[in-house]
Amino acid sequence: MFQNRIKQLVAEGRAAWGAAAPDTSEIVAKQTINCGIDFLWIDLEHRSYGTYEVRWLPILCRQVGCSAMVRVPGLDSSWIKKALDIGANTIMIPQINTADEAKRAVEFAKYPPVGSRGISPLWTAMMDVTWDDYLPVANEETCVVVQIESPEGIENLDAIAAVEGVDVVFAGPADLSASLGVIGQFNHPTLLEFLASFPARIADHGKPAGITFATMEQCRRSYEQGYRFINTGTVLQHGIDGLKSGLNELRELEANE
């Protein structure tokens, strides 16, 4: 119930493989979880909805031991608190630029005496879990993922990775392309060189590196480079790819008549 699969896999030196929820649909989320992912990425940064609309998704994850990761819009204690209170056990904070910001991210995600998270988790009532069971283990189960995207974040990368309580340091390819002066050019040598060197720098501080890509080929390359927290896109993307591929094969039947 309270074991965070991401933290468990990382501790064993293994990779955590995830997929993102493309929207607020519980059905799509459930089907994604059923594929056997280690974590479900629930994005509140680049989506129009908030914690209320996705309130059942972390519950679906907890039912089967999948980690529910909510990416909040920014370094804001209110958003982090709400995400955890609906049942997320992993918090992703974008645009972390300094070690001080990373420390605040950890503080906001943890209960006292480690942090300053307010106490009123609501997901427990939906799963018949008592606070006596959850509160003593909440800090240990909560995983903190910090995202490096800005020029300042790149400059302070080593200091950020060294912060105690940060569990995963994540490279955001899209924003990093902008920060490195090659916006939207995901195959540019400057970006690829930085991403290739990223895992080793993070490993120097005993942390795993994270990344996200939409194709299995890119994810495979990331694993070979040393990334151990990898988002593989969405079931919608892979379904579209599969349908396109299948239709092309079927149309070849007609073309070959």
CB 228 within 8 Å of CB 207: no
Strand partners, 41: 20, 69
- DSSP code string of 126-188: HTT--HHHHHHHHHHH-EEEEEE-SHHHHHTHHHHHT-TT--EEEE-HHHHHHHTT-TT-TT-
Which pairs with CB-CB distance under 8 Å and at least 24 residues apart come from 244-250?
none
Strand partners, 231: 18, 212
The active-site residue, picked from 46, 188, 205, 238, is 46
* CA–CA distance, 9 with 94 (Å, rounded to integer): 23
* CA–CA distance, 237 with 173 (Å, rounded to integer): 18
Q: What is the dihedral of CA 210, 213, 216, 219, to 10 degrees?
A: -30
* CA–CA distance, 183 with 75 (Å, rounded to integer): 24
**Which tokens is 194 given?**
């930085």
Annotation marks residue 188 as catalytic? no
Task: Give the count of beta carbons closer than 10 Å to the beta carbon of residue 39.
Answer: 28
Residues annotated as part of the active site: 46
